[in-house]
Amino acid sequence: MRGNKSSIPLIIVSVTVFFILLFIYLHYTSSSEAQLSMKALTPLYPYTRRKLIKHQDFKPDTFQQTVDPHFNFRRTTQELIDQQSAMYDKQMISIIRNYIIYQPTLEGYRLDNKDLFDVSGGQSAAVDNILRFKEDGFYVECCATDGEKGSTSLFFERVRQWNGLVITPEPEKFRALQMKHRKAAIMNSCLSDSEHPVKKMFTVKDKQTEIHCFPLYSIMAALERKTIDFFALDVGGIDELSIVKAIPFNKINIEILTVRFQGEIRHYKSKIQLYLENIGYDTVLKLVKEDDDSVHHLILKRRESWFTSIVLCVILVSVVSLVVYLYVSNYYRKRKSTI
């Protein structure tokens, strides 16, 4: 009997080692990177799930704005840009909230493809799977489109009832965005590539247009939000890395990012990918366009902290070890009683 009882600690140690190795394996595989073509994303979304997706009407969140018709916000904005005001500047945040951001519309959609729920070529489906089909989230999409063609956020708005913000710099694309009647706040602006507001010149159809660009922190402060479940950055190759570096990730919680960029990096990591991985993100997918190997999309997820994972692992191992110990002890006790 002593030999049998002495085997109990050995069993517990074996179970503990097994779960620790399983934890290390799962943590490693969860951060591994897959590379797919954009066309290959479609099979990831099963036909049965596509059949279940449907448009859900919802009333988007609005926010109170205080507008003074006598206040020249454009002149004050230019002064703040010239002064290189910090992203925490209360006056700048107030201007963004009350004069720069447009409220979500409550009117019906005016989309070109009302029956096509995922207009992103499969990216929205991939993010939806990663987020486990979360509803009532919040997104920010910074893009150079009209808010429909190629939009990665439209799916979450129409199907998952997410609130959000769409930012587009080109005046013509912004007017087209307004006509779509997105259930999202919208801005005719761009994201700053520094910690203060800046002025950029965009060339559209051989015509230069001046656009004010604001730090993401200032915009989120204007909306009184600190969490972004899904952030999509597609600015057409305008130094995405500088824009990402200007984001204070310690003050804004961003769960999932998608970034579009250009460069011959099929078999190695880009600077923006290395930067995001160094600050706590794992690359889930690297997507490459079929007709252009230099255009890539990254999908990255915030990495779970080792401390949290270790604590959960210790709790799990303790519970399992206790159950095993009680089971084995009970087994030997019953066996002893029958002898």
Q: To which H or E segment does residue 187 belong?
A: strand 185-187
Q: To which H or E segment does residue 302 belong?
A: strand 292-302
315-to-19, 213, 295 alpha-carbon distances in Å: 11, 47, 44
Q: Which of 2-11, 92-101, 149-158 has the lowest mean pLDDT?
A: 2-11
pLDDT grade for 239, boundaries at 50, 70 and 90: confident
The mean pLDDT of the chain is: 81
**Residues 253/228, Cβ–Cβ less than 8 Å:** yes
Mean pLDDT of 242-263: 90
Tell me, what's the pLDDT at 93? Answer: 97
Residue 260 CB contacts under 8 Å (≥ 6 apart), including other chains? 233, 234, 235, 236, 240, 295, 296, 297
Q: What is the number of alpha carbons within 13 Å of residue 322 lying toward its C-beta?
A: 6
pTM: 0.77
Range of 72-76, 259-263, 282-286 with top mean pLDDT = 72-76
Tell me, what's the pLDDT at 202? Answer: 79
**Residues 156/53, Cβ–Cβ less than 8 Å:** no
**Residues 72/87, Cβ–Cβ less than 8 Å:** no
Tell me, what's the pLDDT at 292? Answer: 54
**String of b and e for 148-167 (b: at least 16 CB within 10 Å)?**
bbbbbbbbbbbbbbbbbbbb
3-state secondary structure of 228: strand
In terms of C-beta density within 10 A (0-12 exposed, 13-18 middle, 19 or more buried), how is residue 29 classed?
exposed
Tell me, what's the pLDDT at 55? Answer: 67
pLDDT grade for 175, boundaries at 50, 70 and 90: very high
**Is 60 exceeded by the pLDDT of residue 29?**
no
Mean pLDDT of 78-85: 94
Length of the chain: 339
Tell me, what's the pLDDT at 32? Answer: 47
